[in-house]
Chain A
Amino acid sequence: MRPFSQLLDALVYTRSRNGKLALIAAYLRAAPDPDRGWALAALTGNLDLKAVKSSAISEMIRARVDPVLYEMSRDYVGDLAETVALLWPPPPGEPPDLDDGTLTLATVVDRLHATSRAAAPDALAQMMDHLDASGRFALLKLATGGLRVGISARLAKTGFAQAFGLDVDDVEQVWHALSPPYTALFDWAEGRAARPDPAGTPFFRPFMLAHPLEADSVDLADYAAEWKWDGIRIQIVGTGSETRLYSRAGDDISASFPEIAAAFTGHAVLDGELLVRGEFQGGEAASFNALQQRLGRKLVSAKMQADYPAFVRLYDLLLEGDEDLRALPWAQRRARLEAYMPGLDAKRFDLSATIDAADFDALADIRAGARDAAIEGVMLKRRDSPYVAGRKAALWYKWKRDPLTADCVMMYAQRGHGKRSSFYSDYTFGCWTADGELHPVGKAYSGFTDEELKWLDRFVRQNTVARFGPVREVEKTLVLEVAFDSIHDSKRHKSGLAMRFPRIARIRRDKPAAEADTVEGLKKLVR
């Protein structure tokens, strides 16, 4: 376990991307099979263990350490796994920090696979006794799912490619044909076996992404305009016998949207926006808020499917049958997509319309007129662009609409996580009701600079009026200008409102709290 736990520690502390890549590559070259395959699975988020609940871990530590001291430690450290890793009492007669080398990463994974949810705490505890603090941290992170060491799946794959002198896009191509611990992948990388053949499996193709539009205009003779829908990007991969749905990160989300997967029986790869049908725009797409009810669920009830019916608005056709269309210009792919539409179930699939505008100024007017909650802005796609992985300059642009803003009063602050665990960096803010009360309207933890964060943290510490565990209530004196993409009705909050993507736009030290906005005023912005 020690090489893996040392890798995780080093990744936590290494700032540069190249430094992280070098660490991953060095580990993957040196570690034995199948340890390194499991490590790669963990780093790319493909290690699917029966996740141990964090409550089981709290119970495990409460049985060994004074619960009050545990709570205080947890509050100080901020992260459950790290707190428990540091607090874990050494087995009798052993020094506290010793990885005795009896557990390999593969053994750990095997045991976590084999254990039942009920037996997991005992299995974990037994393993904890053989590890040092770093090893215990790694073990708990593996067991709870999600390493959070600040690297993406793509970066891990790039590290793998770098380790063995491969092209990362080539690795991406074969990736989804393989499963952990990726022995076939390492055999290929080290020349012991042929390139794994992904044909016949519904594997993921990297998405084409857009740059924000920075130029003042583009020529619509070269670029086609489309609405940017506020759902989640999705790739539909059908082999004729099997269909899978992938999120932007390449996660398989078929189980969350079974009705979509079931409705597609073709042999093709499509790119589109997953949306929930709603009352907006004449009964088409509902806001992102509605879609959120469906996200992240492993099992979806019939009621869920009926209350929040999902459909896909299609943008692009990547493959039709075995024919790869990605090298063709966008205009040709678009024509193929339009021709493909009639064969699809109209209840689950529609076509993302292009926007007709005489010129860029006319397009700007159309964009300014659209305030539908499901529209995020406009996409501009070069008519002759091939479909290429990632963000390539000047091919696709996203032209988001300007955010809405409101002046709100800070009410509560909470310490952040990760790098911000000593800073009060999560703020709940409110607006005034007609009765002169402040009701919370949202929570934001971004938008400010490091300097502003320091200032805000100091403000919170110096203006605390009450403490509730990690949360501090502050004097209601500070006005924050909050930017957000849209605002919706919500049953969850006392104000009856919920913001989408709220962030702190400015700290309004100049503005008296009494002059902040009202809940009534915000309600007028609901679409």
Chain B
Amino acid sequence: MAHWIEPHPTGIYVRPADAWIDPSVPRDRALVTHGHADHARGGHGHVWATRETLAIMALRYGTASGTPVGYGEEIRLGGVTIRYVPAGHVLGSAQIVLTHAGERVVVTGDYKRRPDPTCLPFEPVPCDIFVTEATFGLPVFRHPDTGSEIDRLIAALHANPERSVLVGAYALGKAQRLICELRARGHHDPIYLHGAMERMCNLYVELGVELGDLRPATGVAAKDMRGAIIVAPPSALNDRWSRRLPDPITAMASGWMRVRQRARQKNVELPLILSDHADWDELTDTIREVAPTETWITHGREEALLHWCMTHQIRARALALVGRDDEEEEG
């Protein structure tokens, strides 16, 4: 089935279009699902992606030649009809829907099913081949309600007015979603940013996502950040950088926080289970919903999802794509 689409370790090759989906090495023609570094690399000849993803790539890799593709818009490359459909993962994220020779293939990139104020919700597209991620492909991963996690963060902040809460959050997507969710729960105080967060937050604001009062943490006296939330990339949590903050409570916003010892390893005191990836129930419900003839599982804990597909009479295979690190900070 669908001999025109080929999984390779470096990406998925769409032969009639002579184009690669999320290639991990520079290619002449690349179809990119979203801006995270394990999907969007620099150095491609020509890129097709959403306007937002192109803007993110331009910010990260400098200007690249690219064709913006609007959600729902159809383009044709070498006899393949290509449509970008919201994936609900981060701003600009898309599933790539390919139709050729009477068959439809959906490549999700990364996705989630629960609401995210910074991007459009995932749209299920029935298809013949469904290429799904499996970052949280184990039944121990069930993300709790977002609101209750945000409330725990706000409660910790209020219980420790002399301290601060330092939240580790991936710089693209998670940080902005966290800020939006905080605003939605009525937290309108200034939020301080690690230097590595600033440019991406500015880009989000330019692209129309309201983030409220954001300030750089650099140069602010520790006492002025008491009782405040500071957002930093996860790598900065246990770094010397955090010494400038007023007695911070270390928090981390990630789906990995569901497992105690994962949080302990990162020296996290306040684990917040907030993920931009589908949890186990979302993965399995989505496969049922799009009802593909065949499911291809890309990165993550593909073994468990593969087993689940097998026991539910769904044909499935695991693709070994390189460069999709399963211990990524993103999550």
Residues of A within 8 A of B (CB): 9, 12-15, 65-66, 68-69, 72-73, 76-79, 82-83, 86-87, 96-97, 137, 418-422
Name which residue of chain A comes closest to B307, CB basis.
Answer: A68
Interface pair A77/B264, CB less than 8 Å apart: no
Residues of A within 8 Å of B258, CB to CB, are: 86
Complex Cα gap A13–B303 (Å): 30
Residues of B within 8 Å of A72, CB to CB, are: 138, 301, 303-304, 307
Interface pair A96/B142, CB less than 8 Å apart: yes
Interface pair A86/B259, CB less than 8 Å apart: yes
Interface pair B271/A422, CB less than 8 Å apart: no
Interface pair B304/A69, CB less than 8 Å apart: yes
Query: Is the C-beta of B269 less than 8 angstroms from some C-beta in chain A?
Result: yes
Query: Is the C-beta of B261 less than 8 angstroms from some C-beta in chain A?
Result: yes
Query: Is the C-beta of B223 less than 8 angstroms from some C-beta in chain A?
Result: no
In B289-331, the 8 Å CB interface with A consists of 301, 303-304, 307-308, 311, 327
Q: How far is the CB of B189 from chain A (nearest CB, A)?
A: 24
Interface pair B261/A79, CB less than 8 Å apart: yes
Interface pair A76/B138, CB less than 8 Å apart: yes
Name which residue of chain B comes closest to A14, CB basis.
Answer: B269
Shortest Cβ-Cβ A-B pairs, 5 listed: A86-B140, A421-B261, A73-B140, A72-B304, A13-B269
Name which residue of chain A comes closest to B263, CB basis.
Answer: A13
Q: How far is the CB of A318 from chain B (nearest CB, A)?
A: 40
Q: How far is the CB of B177 from chain A (nearest CB, A)?
A: 21
Interface pair A419/B304, CB less than 8 Å apart: no
Complex Cα gap A419–B139 (Å): 21
Residues of B within 8 A of A (CB): 138-142, 144-145, 258-265, 267-271, 301, 303-304, 307-308, 311, 327
Interface pair B140/A77, CB less than 8 Å apart: yes
Name which residue of chain A comes closest to B269, CB basis.
Answer: A13
Interface pair A82/B270, CB less than 8 Å apart: no
Residues of B within 8 Å of A83, CB to CB, are: 140
Q: How far is the CB of A12 from chain B (nearest CB, A)?
A: 6
Residues of B within 8 Å of A66, CB to CB, are: 307-308, 311
A-B contact count (CB 8 A): 72
Q: How far is the CB of B243 from chain A (nearest CB, A)?
A: 16
Residues of A within 8 Å of B270, CB to CB, are: 13
Interface pair B140/A76, CB less than 8 Å apart: yes
Chain B CB within 10 Å, residue with most, of A14, A73, A78, A96: A73
Complex Cα gap A452–B303 (Å): 30
- With contacts A65-B139, A66-B311, A86-B139 known, what are 20 further pairs, Cβ within 8 A? A9-B260, A13-B263, A13-B264, A13-B270, A14-B269, A66-B308, A69-B138, A69-B304, A69-B307, A72-B307, A73-B138, A73-B139, A77-B259, A86-B141, A86-B142, A87-B139, A419-B261, A419-B265, A421-B261, A422-B327
Complex Cα gap A420–B144 (Å): 25
Q: How far is the CB of A85 from chain B (nearest CB, A)?
A: 9
Residues of A within 8 Å of B327, CB to CB, are: 422
Between A and B, 29 residue pairs with Cβ closer than 8 Å are A12-B264, A13-B264, A13-B269, A66-B311, A68-B307, A69-B138, A69-B139, A69-B304, A69-B307, A69-B308, A72-B303, A72-B307, A73-B139, A73-B304, A76-B138, A76-B140, A76-B259, A79-B260, A82-B261, A86-B139, A86-B140, A86-B258, A96-B142, A96-B144, A137-B260, A418-B264, A420-B261, A421-B265, A422-B261
Partner of B269, one of A15, A78, A422: A15
Complex Cα gap A251–B113 (Å): 52
Complex Cα gap A188–B60 (Å): 65
Complex Cα gap A422–B261 (Å): 8
Partner of B264, one of A65, A68, A87, A419: A419
Chain A CB within 10 Å, residue with most, of B139, B144, B269, B304: B139
Residues of B within 8 Å of A68, CB to CB, are: 307
Partner of A87, one of B140, B262, B271, B307: B140
Name which residue of chain A comes closest to B148, CB basis.
Answer: A97
Residues of A within 8 Å of B304, CB to CB, are: 69, 72-73
Partner of B267, one of A15, A73, A97: A15
Residues of B within 8 Å of A79, CB to CB, are: 260-261
Interface pair B144/A97, CB less than 8 Å apart: yes
Q: How far is the CB of B36 from chain A (nearest CB, A)?
A: 22
Name which residue of chain B comes closest to A84, CB basis.
Answer: B140
Residues of B within 8 Å of A12, CB to CB, are: 260, 264
Name which residue of chain B comes closest to A78, CB basis.
Answer: B261
Q: How far is the CB of B309 from chain A (nearest CB, A)?
A: 12
Interface pair B268/A13, CB less than 8 Å apart: yes
Complex Cα gap A13–B261 (Å): 9
Interface pair B261/A76, CB less than 8 Å apart: no
Q: How far is the CB of A417 from chain B (nearest CB, A)?
A: 8
Q: How far is the CB of B271 from chain A (nearest CB, A)?
A: 7
Name which residue of chain B comes closest to A65, CB basis.
Answer: B139
